[in-house]
Amino acid sequence: MPGKFPNDLAEALYQISLDGPDEEMGSVDEMGWYGLLLGITPEEMGEFGQDVVDEMEGAQNFILSEDSYGFVDYEAFESEADAKARWEEIAFDIGEPGGEEEE
């Protein structure tokens, strides 16, 4: 039976997001929650195991999402610029002004 995460990488990214993503927007009660995670290195992910590092496939920037049912997914990007461009698209789609920056 499938769980909350599609793979080990999604679960590891979720664990990292609990310390606060670089930016976040939305709410699981509405259009979904989104977290922007930038510059995640294979060394950081090593604590979660080699399978997680392998699943990164060279990406170091991620947009994590969680829906109202608690299911978590992500999009992966090799460049920070591509991740930020997609972040802005999501913000527009859900009616947010670009998300909230963490302090």
Q: Is residue 3 part of a domain?
A: no
Q: Is residue 39 part of a domain?
A: yes
Residue 31 has a pLDDT of 82
Q: How many residues does the chain have?
A: 103
Task: Give the domain range for residue 92.
Answer: 21-96
Residue 98 has a pLDDT of 52
Residue 92 phi/psi, 5° resolution? -65, -45
Q: Is residue 84 part of a domain?
A: yes
Identity of the residue numbered 1 = M
Q: Is residue 63 part of a domain?
A: yes
Q: Is residue 32 part of a domain?
A: yes
Q: What is the pLDDT of residues 13-31, one digit of tens each?
A: 999 999 999 999 999 888 8
Using DSSP, state whether 95 is helix, strand or coil.
coil
Task: Quote the number of domains for the chain.
Answer: 1
Q: Is residue 92 part of a domain?
A: yes
Q: Is residue 10 part of a domain?
A: no
The confidence band for 88, taking pLDDT boundaries of 50, 70 and 90, is very high
In this predicted structure, the answer to whether residue 101 has a pLDDT above a threshold of 70 is no
Q: Is residue 56 a contact partner of residue 41, using CB atoms and an 8 Å limit?
A: no
pTM: 0.88
In this predicted structure, the answer to whether residue 81 has a pLDDT above a threshold of 70 is yes
